[in-house]
Amino acid sequence: MATIQLVRHATLLVSMDGTTILVDPMLGAPGDIPPIPNSPNDRENPLVPLPDVDLAHDAVLVSHRHRDHFDDAATERLDDDVPLLCQPEEADAFREDGFTDVRPVDESVTFDGIEITRTPARHGHGGLAEQMGPASGFVLDGDRTLYLAGDTVWYDPVAETIDRHDPDAAVVNAGAAQFVEGDPITMDAEDVTSTVEAADCPVAAVHMDAINHCLLTREDLGDAVSEVLIPEDGEALSV
């Protein structure tokens, strides 16, 4: 059995095979991060506090270094020698932060018997996706296979990843994060629906109600897509 616990926003604790991986740690207090620029509102982030969750972990996995996925508080609170898995493009930045065991994932690596494979992600549409910089999803393959889609919209490589890895569960970053101009840069309700229809497994949606430019709420997504799991902060799902 595997467990996926939503901490807040995109921060997860994934446990399988006796190993716990902390994913995309945003650990700061409400208001630590300024509003995302060029957004429809100017609320300071995070919008909600960190829940009372045991954050003990064996490794850290970061999909990309945007501040809502790895913030200053994470740099301060994480052990310098924690195994930190990341995109190759961002490995040097983590080393400059003082982390001494940075393990870039080019294609796949194995940690404590769990195979971790980097998968494609497109953080938006058209030219905006290029401006957002590289982002990645990951498949964790142990006694269960989990697909963490990361900050991506629905596009062919997401469907191809599902077909190739046949996960036992998938987690998508919803929220329909958006700037004043342009289309959403994370999944909206239609994208989540496409994922649910493509996946022969439970799909959980996170990345909502915590950052000012994520305009799709849990309530709105639940009204639009009945088949998706929508955990609350601190809630754990068993696979």
Mean pLDDT of 27-35: 97
Domain boundaries, the chain: 3-238
93-138 residue pLDDT tens: 999 999 999 999 999 999 999 999 999 999 999 888 888 989 999 9
Mean pLDDT of 62-73: 98
Q: Check if the beta carbon of residue 119 is closer than 8 Å to that of residue 157.
A: yes
Phi, psi of 88 (to 5 degrees): -55, -35
168-222 residue pLDDT tens: 999 999 999 999 999 999 999 999 999 999 999 999 999 999 999 999 999 999 9
| pLDDT band with cut points at 50, 70 and 90 for residue 225 | very high
pLDDT of residue 57: 98
pLDDT of residue 130: 85
- B/e letters for 72-90, b = 16+ CB within 10 Å, e = fewer, are ebbeeebeeeebbbbbeeb
CA-nearest of 114, 105, 92 to 21 is 114
Which H or E run includes 118?
A: strand 114-120
Residues contacting 220, CB < 8 A, separation 6+: 189
Ordered alpha helix ranges (H), the chain: 72-77, 91-96, 126-131, 156-165, 189-198, 218-224
At the topology level of CATH, where does 3-238 sit?
Metallo-beta-lactamase; Chain A (3.60.15)
pLDDT of residue 151: 98
Mean pLDDT of 65-69: 98
pLDDT of residue 119: 98
Average pLDDT, the chain: 97
Residues contacting 132, CB < 8 A, separation 6+: 66, 123, 124, 151, 185
pTM of the entire structure? 0.97
Distance of CA 38 to the CA centre of its chain: 22
C-alpha span between 170 and 116 (Å, rounded): 14
The pair of structure tokens assigned to 119 is 């998968």
Q: Check if the beta carbon of residue 121 is closer than 8 Å to that of residue 135.
A: yes
C-alpha span between 163 and 180 (Å, rounded): 34
C-alpha span between 82 and 18 (Å, rounded): 17
